[in-house]
Structure formats: C-alpha cells, structure tokens
Structure 1
Amino acid sequence: MRGVVDEGLLEAAGELRDLVAVTRFPIDTGAVDVARDAQEALLDQLDDYVLPRLKAMDAPLLAVIGGSTGAGKSTLINSIVGATVSRSGVLRPTTRASVLVHNPEDDQWFTSHRVLPGLERVRGGTGTGGLHAVDDPSEVRLVESNALPSGLALLDAPDIDSVVRPNRELAAELLSAADLWLFVTTSSRYADAVPWAMLRQAAERGTSVAIVLARVPREHMEEVRGHLSEMLRGEGLASAPIFTVPEATLTREGHLQPQEVARIRSWLAALARDAKARSIIVRRTLGGALDSLRDRVADLAQASQAQHEATQELRRAAERAHAQAVEAVESGISEGTLLRGEVLARWQQLVGTGEFLRHVEAHISSWRDRFTSAIKGTPPPAAPLGEALQSGVAELLRAYAQGAAATTARRWRQLPGGAALLEEHPELAHPSADLDERVERLVRDWQGQLLELVRAEGKDRRTTARIMAFGVNGLAVVLMLVVFSQTWGLSGAEVGVAGGAAVLAQRLLEAIFGDQAVRTLALKARKQLMDQVEALYAQERERFDRALESVEVVASQAKQLTDAAAAVEAAR
C-alpha cells in the first residue's frame, strides 16, 4: 500500500475537484440550498479525503470518532490514550474544535496540510479546561501520544447533532475525511434519527464503520446489542463491528475503566500493526467515495441545468415583452392609431375634407396649388401636421417601452431569481433614463430617411419638377401619412376623416410618382421605421441581459461536471 495510485486517476480527480469548486448556483431555485450544501460536502470530501489519500496511500489510517451530543466521544478517546487530550464534561457542546491524536513517528503526515487543508494546526492537549477553555473551530489540535501505535490516528469530532451549526458542519467535514468512522452512541439514543442518517450516508458511500455502544446496562447488554445489529443489517452495515461499553463508574480523571476499553484499544492496535488490514479499510472507503462521485456529481449537474434554465427563462421573459412591444408599435402604425386627435386637426387645417375628396382626381392640380402655397408659407402651413405626426410616433414608442419594462419586471418577480435581480437593479422596472432623447433622435433620423427616399425617387427631370412644385419636406409629411394609412382601430367619424386623409395623401403621391412607386416608398419607409424601433427596444432589453450576466450559468457547466465524473470513473 505504498506510494501514489495511478497518476491518471489523481489528475482526473483533481480536475473534477476544480470544476466542483467553480460551479455556481446563483439563482434561488427551489432546491438551490440542497445543491449548495451538496457542493460543499463533495468539495470537502475531495479536499479532505479523496485527493490526500490518492496522493499517499501509505499514510496512517485516520479514524474519526463521531456521534451525538453527550454520547461520550471525548471520554472514549481520553480513555483509549490514557490521558485527557479532549475536553469532556456535562456542559454541551464540549468539543468545539477537532483534536487529532497520533503517534510521534507519524507527525509529518499531519503537521502539513495534506488532510483537512482548511484547518490550521496547533499543538498540545486541551486539558480539562473548564469554562475558560475555548477551542477555535478553524483549528485542528495535534496531540502526540505513544499510547497509539504508528500507522493510526484518532480524530475527535464535534457533535453531529450539535445545537451550534458550525459544530455540525465541522463534524460532517471531519467524517468525510475519515478512513474509518468510529461511531459512538448510547443504549438510550442508538435509534435516534440523526445518527442513522449519517450511518446511511456511510453505507451509501462505502465508508468503513465501527460502532461503540456505550452506557449499556449490563442486564440489557445482549438485548440492545442484538437490536442494534438488526438495524445495521437493515442499512447494509452488517459487517460493522460493535464494541459495547457497559455502564460503569469513571476514574478520578474522568476516564472509562481500562478493562472497558481494552477490546477497542486492542482492535485499533491490531489495525495499526497490520498493513494489509489497513489497506483493506482504506481501499474500501476510498473506493466507496469514488463510487459515490457519479451520482453526487449528477445531482450537481442537474441542479446546474436548472440554474441555466432559470436564467434562460428570465432572458426569454425580457425578450417576449420587448418583442410584443415591437409588434404593438407595428400594429399602432398600421391600424391608424396615429391618425387621431391632433393629427386629424392639422390635416383638416391643411386640405379640408368632404366634397374635395370626392373630386380629388379632377382637382389634383388645384389641390397641388393649395398644398404648394401652404408649403411656401401661406396659410394653413404643413409644419404643424409633421410635428403632430412626430409627437404621435414618439409618444407611441415611449408608451410601449414603458409597458415592456413593466411587463418584464412583473414576470421576473414571478420567476426564480428575478425578484432578487430587480431588488439589485430597481431601475429595470422603468425605461432607460435617456429613452426620451433616443426616441426623439430616432424620429428625426427616420424623417431624414423619408426625405432621402423622396429625393431618390425623383430622379428624372419630370418627377423632379413635380417634387419641386410640392416641396420635399411637404411630400415627406404626406409619405408619413401614407405609412400610417390603415384606419383599423378608429371608429365613428374618425374613420371617415382619417380614411379621407389617407386616400387623399396616397392619391397625391401616386400623381407624382405612380401607384407602384408609392407602394414601394411606403414599404421602405415602414421598414426603416420598424428596423429602428427594433433596435431601440433591443437596447432596452439589453439592460435586462446585462443584469443577468451576474447570475448567468453557462449551459456547458452541467456537461463539464458530468464529463469530469466520467473521466474519474474511466481512470480507475
């Protein structure tokens, strides 16, 4: 049992450890706390046991003494070594930090951070200490004792059911670092739930276990031992040896009588002397730990996938809300929403309605004269109509941007992780602070594009003359009306007035450019506007994307974990 196992296995286990360490569970999904605890437990076992043991198969056997509050763990270890090395007493909890007892010859194995790398090393026993002896849970106290043979070390752990959470966490970490669990319980508490949860975990992971059944009334010794044996068989721990310690008076030092621990001491000494026996225990526990990796990593991968799906659902919520805003703007443009109120009033000022519309074909030249005079500055001017259209477009864009932000925020509050992100970024519930400025710029840019479309369409001399007669700016305003020419969504008198405005505007442009050219102009103008609207709302949506970057979980995280666990299995 000398040296290091296959280097490929060690390397694969190290790569798995590194991946587990950087795995992230930032989203508060339903089972995220379980996943984080499982990640921490797996990382502890890889750091505290699997990797150290793979690096040094011939290191001393580490037996961790664990159990429930008041089971007598410290009393047992003190009795085994014949000295007070771990504080015991009636006050609970008594063991606040770990105490590791080893033979002086094995000192080099434990003074380094080969095992339990997260705990600082301090020297010497705690003594009886009383109320003023305080152990630091971040330390492991190293105690040398010739009572233990070389090749074996005992580690006294805090209570697994301690009322102090750090004690429970430390106990679990120490047990995960053990080659052998020496589990201490009593005749009155051997069936408690917490110890059995730990024992089941040991069975599932193939950890070697021995049971010390303490404080057993002599008259009930066989009965209690028999019942405990049945329970162990039921949990797959039939091979676990059981050592019974009857109720007895302690020595003046607070130790068990030597004869009561003689059998345990002899068994441990035999393990220390027998390299083959130690190898069997080590390889069984190490093999069990390696066997457990696939399922434990699979659970982490599943939790990681849930994290990725949660972030994707948040992203989709923002995408849907802003895509719906784009659709709403397009509908608002197509359905005549903009041909209301102020726009209609300005149009009537410009051309009037009624009989004039019915005779538009016959009187296009006279209407052109009227429009031309309006453009040149005689009443009524066309500029207010353009301004009304601009204001309508801008208000439409602002309204749906606000709606998209509010809809996304409302949906995020219903999704895992969304509420926390909104609390961190409250500004997301509203449009960007510079939205008004960007909307105004968008409308101005679109107007400039309309002017270019009108100029580009009037290439030949005849068309140019017509355009000059009406004015490029004026025709651009008319083209805006044609873009918003659908009247669905209007009702009553609005339909007639707005419809008349749309038809008249289109007839005018057809008279100048031709009907096919007008359709092409309108489609181009509408597309240019919608392209800019999509870009505007994409920028608004990107604010949510940027907030998600802090909690983004890449899809490959789950696969990387699964592949790393498979690599460990392949290297065994």
Structure 2
Amino acid sequence: MQDESDRDPLLVAVDELRRGVDGLRLPLDVAGVSDARDVRQQLVEQLDDYVLPRLRALDAPLLAVVGGSTGAGKSTLVNSVVGAPLSASGVLRPTTRSPVLVHHPDDAAAFADPRVLPSLRRVTGDAGSVDSVDAAGADGAAITAVRLAASDALPAGLALLDAPDIDSVVTANRVLAAQLMAAADLWIFVTTAARYADAVPWDLLLDASERGASVAIVLDRVPPEAMNEVRLHLAQMLRERGLKSSPLFTIAESAVDDAGLLDPEVVRPVRSWLVALAKDAQARQVVVRRTLNGILQTLPLRIEALTAAAEDQDAARKALAHAAAEAYGEAREAIVDGLSDGSMLRGEVLARWQEFVGTGEMLRSLEARVGRIRDRVVAAVKGRPAPEVDLEVALQTGVESLVTGEAELAAANAWQRWRHLDGGAVLVAAHPELDSASADLHERTARATRDWQGFVLELVGSEGSDRRTTARMLSYGVNGLGVLLMLVVFSHTAGLSGAEVGIAGGTALLAQRLLEAVFGDQAVRGLAAQARADLLTRCDILLADERARYDLALSEVEPGPGADDLRKALANVEGAR
C-alpha cells in the first residue's frame, strides 16, 4: 500500500481545516446553536473517519458500509456474500448491536491501523466478542469498538462493514450508523419491499446524493409476484432523487439455511458485482474519487454554517460583555454624581462638621467671621481631637456606603440583563454568585477609602512643606486641613434642594475658605483636583475588580477559532483541490 506524502497540499489544507473545526467552541446557547454543534461534530468525525485517512492512502482497500433499517437483512446479506456467519443477527431489536468489518486476510493491517475509524477500538474473535465487551444495545451504552473478521471469500481490496440500524431504538446505534456511513467509500443501502419508501432511509439517501457519495441499493425480501412492480417503483424514486446511476439489486424473499445464510444463487448478483469492483483497481479509484470529491464539495456549505454560528457566538459574547460594562458604567456615573452633588455633606457628615467648627449660626456670617472660625478650628484641633476624627470616619463611611451600594446595584443589573440575553441564562445559572457584589467588597472599599484619606493627608503635608505656609498649617494641623480638603472634594451641590443646599454649600465654602487662608486659592483648586482624581481612580479599580467576575465567566466559554480562521482554512482547501 502506497501512502501519499503528508506534504501533499490538499492533505495539509484539510488537516488544518479539521483542527480549526475541532477547535471551534459553541458554548453559548444562542438560536440555532444545537444544529451548528451537530454540523461541527459530524464534520470532525467525517474528516477523521474518512477524508484524512483516504487522502493519506488513496490506494487503500475500499470500505463498503452495509446500512439500512432494522430487520432489513443487512447481517444476513453480509454473511451470505462471504458464505459464513461472521456478523451476528437475530430477532431482537436492535438486530445488529455492534459493527463488524469483514476483510481479506491480506488487508488486515490496513484495518487494524487506527488511521481508519480512529474513534473505534479493534476487537477480534467470534461474533459475540464485541457484544461481550461493549454491551451496547438494550442498555443504550455508546458503542466504542468494531470487530474485525478476516475472510478469504472476499478478494483483497474490498471490505464490508455491517453497521447498526439507521432507525434503531437505541440512540447510540443510530449515531454510530450515521457516522459509519459518512466514513464509507461506498454505501450499500439495504431495504425491503415493505419498507423501501420509509422516510428515515430516504433522508439519508438524499444526503448521500447531495454530497456525491457512491451508493448501491439492495432491495431485499421481495415477494416474487411483486418483483417487477416494486423494482420499477424504487427505480423511479431513485431517478427522482438524483440516484439513477446507483446500482440496484433485488433479492427475492427466500428461506435461510441452518447457518442463517441465503442460497448462494440468491446473492450471486451482489457478490459478483462486489468481487468485480474489488479486482478492478481503476473502478475502485472511481468510487473513491467520487465519494471523496463529493464530501469536499460539501465543505463550503458546512463551513458557512459554522462561520455563521461562530459569528453568532461572537455577537452574543459582545452583547453580554457590553451589558456588564454598561451596568458598571452606570454605577461609575452614579458614584461620580454622588461624590460631587453635595449629598456626601448631609446627615452624619454634616452633624460631625458642625461639632467640628461650631453651630450653623457661624455659616450665616461666614465672610465677616472667617478669622474667628479659624480660631475655633484651631482650638478644636488642639484641644478636642474627637470631632475631627469623627468627621473623618463619617466621610469614610459615606464613601463606603456610596461605592458598595452602587456596586451591589451594578451586579444585580448585570445579572438581570444577562438572564435575558442570548447565551446568558446558562451563564447566570452556572454563576449564581454574580447577582450580588463580592463578599469582600465592603472590606476592600473600606481599605481603599482609608488609603485615599491617607493620600489626602500626604497631599496636604507635601503642600505645607513650603516655609511660607508651614506656620499657618501647623496652627490647623495636617489632619484638620486634610478633613477640610476632603469636604471640598465633595463641594458641588447639584441634587440637593432647599435648606440642604445652603447648609452643604456653606459647609464646603467654609472649608474652602479656611484652606485658602493657608494655601491660597490656586493651590486649593489643585489639591482638590488631585484628591478627587485619586478617589475616582480607586473607585474605578474597585468597580473593575467587580466587573472582572463577569469577564471571567465569559472567558470560561471562549469560542476558539473565529469565522475568519475557518474561512481562511476553507480557502486553502479549495485552492489545493
């Protein structure tokens, strides 16, 4: 047997395409994905089972798969052609429980090689060997082995594979039957006079016709009195469905001997045709080339279906990623508003501020009494540190509440949006924890807020290192000035109304005036901008970490090669043909 070089351009291109198809992942449950997954699986199996092995060895023995409906007489036909009961048959359904490959002894190495039907392990022995080790059939277990049976009755160059029933009550049998037929150089379809018009086999015959496969039909168990009528009707159906060139054999209804074999004369036409095919190398190549080219011609449509599915997956992933980004983007906007609309200066913060500088009456006479207020601040810093600490804690608590609240809302919003997007339902079911913020968010937010407050104090200390401001700064204290700067960061009053605007605005204005008295107005604006930018950066990091949980869930369903990769691989195959 002469193998073609692995450097053959067509073989290399098909192998590359096979890797691309096998690497394609369709994990998201979008519309049509089930059909696309079937196309992908069937294509990988056919490339593995037939196209690549055949390209590697164009002159290898011809594999004829005998397939058909339950009880059509496939095993009986195979046994009768070789003149020995090599493939077990019976009255129980399914009658053929595992595949049996009959070959000439000289071809044993060709079929023992995992190059052919690589997904099935090889078993040798009597007719019960596979059933005893594979136990497929009644319990529905997947079939994982094929039994090899050598016979001198078949000439070298041709093997017959008795496949499970295409309409078996066992799903595993039907799946394997379809896989084996897709791996055949030649499909010998066996049907009966009573069932030749059934829908299931005709669906497979039409599929074979559309992909240019070589097919022969055996019409079995035909009552002699109905032979002409049934044969003519079947021949007409074959012509109408593009299979008029397929050989058609008829076997009259007849008894079998004690070994379960038909009279040799009954199967002589089928056997003679198979023997002649096996002995004619050129005829075998015609069958091989026709089937191989037929499969290659189907690749564009099949790859088109897969590229469309890959694009649907990509669109779904982008929609899911956008939904999460949008939810956390809205949270970021809400945090920005909350940090700048003055709402941080209400409630506990306002109460602690009034303890820090005095009563609200001071705010109403700000312009005239800045000097005296400064004195009150200095006295408070030097003599009563508690109000300052309380104010700092109140600010910290306010920031934490704002950030954690918006992060919780973002998680809930993103989770709900994913539930209603293509592919999202399975993801949220697999990750129920995504409907709320991380368990340690509060702790991380508290740490980030404390770090920010430390940064603000460093800013103030750095700005006060100038000898011209050192004395004034020392009269207030770094902590006191730092708290004032934090208040200025939250100085805008949009969103407040009525008395709250006056109080919050006055609070921020007073803090700003006190800072300006120490550093000057230009420096205060710069300090406030730096402090605000740093706080938003820390909030962005917290939100990014929260959103990353959604990104991680998406990364677990990576699609593999994309549509462009598949199109490129297909173009290489088309160019090499």
TM-score range relative to shorter protein: over 0.9
Match of 2:278 in 1: 272
Q: Is the 8 Å Cα contact of residues 353 and 500 (structure 1) preserved in structure 2?
A: no
Counterpart-to-counterpart distance in 1, 2:466 and 2:105: 104
Shift of 1:352: 4.5
Q: Secondary structure at the match of 1:143?
A: strand
Match of 1:31 in 2: 32
Paired residues, number: 569
Select which of 152, 164, 170 maps to 2:170: 164
Q: Secondary structure at the match of 2:66?
A: strand
1:559 maps to 2:564? yes
Shift of 1:154: 0.8
Shift of 1:393: 0.8
Match of 1:224 in 2: 230
Counterpart-to-counterpart distance in 2, 1:214 and 1:465: 111
Report the residue type matching 1:79 in the other structure. Answer: S
Q: Secondary structure at the match of 1:449?
A: helix
Select which of 154, 164, 169 maps to 2:160: 154
Counterpart-to-counterpart distance in 2, 1:142 and 1:456: 86
Shift of 1:372: 1.0
Shift of 1:158: 0.2
Select which of 247, 251, 254 maps to 1:248: 254
Gaps of 5+ in 2: 137-142
Select which of 313, 332, 343 maps to 1:326: 332
Shift of 1:304: 2.7
Identity value in percent: 58
Counterpart-to-counterpart distance in 1, 2:384 and 2:135: 95
Report the residue type matching 1:567 in the other structure. Answer: N
Shift of 1:400: 1.4
Q: Is the 8 Å Cα contact of residues 412 and 418 (structure 1) preserved in structure 2?
A: yes
Counterpart-to-counterpart distance in 2, 1:387 and 1:125: 85
Report the residue type matching 1:356 in the other structure. Answer: M
1:505 maps to 2:511? yes
1:197 maps to 2:206? no
TM-score (norm 1): 0.93
Select which of 509, 516, 522 maps to 2:522: 516
Point out the more displaced range, 23-32 or 382-391: 23-32
Select which of 239, 252, 263 maps to 1:257: 263
Match of 1:64 in 2: 65
Q: Is the 8 Å Cα contact of residues 25 and 558 (structure 2) preserved in structure 1?
A: no
Q: Is the 8 Å Cα contact of residues 21 and 40 (structure 2) preserved in structure 1?
A: yes
1:53 maps to 2:54? yes
Counterpart-to-counterpart distance in 1, 2:33 and 2:347: 54
CA deviations over 1:353-376 (Å, ceiling 9, x no partner)? 555334322211111111111111
Q: Is the 8 Å Cα contact of residues 340 and 498 (structure 1) preserved in structure 2?
A: yes
Report the residue type matching 1:244 in the other structure. Answer: T
Counterpart-to-counterpart distance in 2, 1:540 and 1:134: 50
Q: Is the 8 Å Cα contact of residues 353 and 497 (structure 1) preserved in structure 2?
A: no
Counterpart-to-counterpart distance in 1, 2:87 and 2:566: 40
Q: Secondary structure at the match of 2:345?
A: coil
Counterpart-to-counterpart distance in 2, 1:291 and 1:361: 88
Report the residue type matching 2:112 in the other structure. Answer: T
Point out the more displaced range, 278-287 or 211-220: 211-220
Select which of 339, 350, 356 maps to 1:344: 350
CA deviations over 1:434-485 (Å, ceiling 9, x no partner)? 2222212211111122223223334544433322222221121112111111
Shift of 1:329: 0.7
1:4 maps to 2:4? yes
Q: Is the 8 Å Cα contact of residues 342 and 494 (structure 2) preserved in structure 1?
A: yes
1:115 maps to 2:116? yes
Match of 1:95 in 2: 96
Counterpart-to-counterpart distance in 1, 2:367 and 2:498: 26
1:536 maps to 2:542? yes
Q: Is the 8 Å Cα contact of residues 326 and 537 (structure 1) preserved in structure 2?
A: yes
Point out the more displaced range, 280-289 or 478-487: 478-487
Report the residue type matching 2:188 in the other structure. Answer: L
Q: Where do 4+ consecutive residues of structure 1 move more than 6 Å? A: 131-135
* Cα RMSD for the two superposed structures: 2.5
Counterpart-to-counterpart distance in 1, 2:556 and 2:92: 46
Counterpart mapping for 1:373-522 below 5 A: 373-378=379-384, 381-458=387-464, 460-522=466-528
TM-score (norm 2): 0.92
Report the residue type matching 1:210 in the other structure. Answer: A
Match of 1:143 in 2: 149
Report the residue type matching 1:341 in the other structure. Answer: G
Counterpart-to-counterpart distance in 1, 2:471 and 2:242: 98
Counterpart-to-counterpart distance in 1, 2:3 and 2:493: 86
Q: Secondary structure at the match of 1:142?
A: strand
Report the residue type matching 2:521 in the other structure. Answer: D
CA deviations over 1:395-436 (Å, ceiling 9, x no partner)? 111111222222222223333444444444443333223222
Counterpart-to-counterpart distance in 2, 1:378 and 1:339: 21
1:295 maps to 2:301? yes
Counterpart mapping for 1:123-134 below 5 A: 123-126=124-127
Q: Is the 8 Å Cα contact of residues 125 and 142 (structure 1) preserved in structure 2?
A: no
CA deviations over 1:269-324 (Å, ceiling 9, x no partner)? 22112221111111100111222223223322332333333333333232222222
Counterpart-to-counterpart distance in 2, 1:94 and 1:135: 14
Q: Is the 8 Å Cα contact of residues 124 and 143 (structure 1) preserved in structure 2?
A: yes
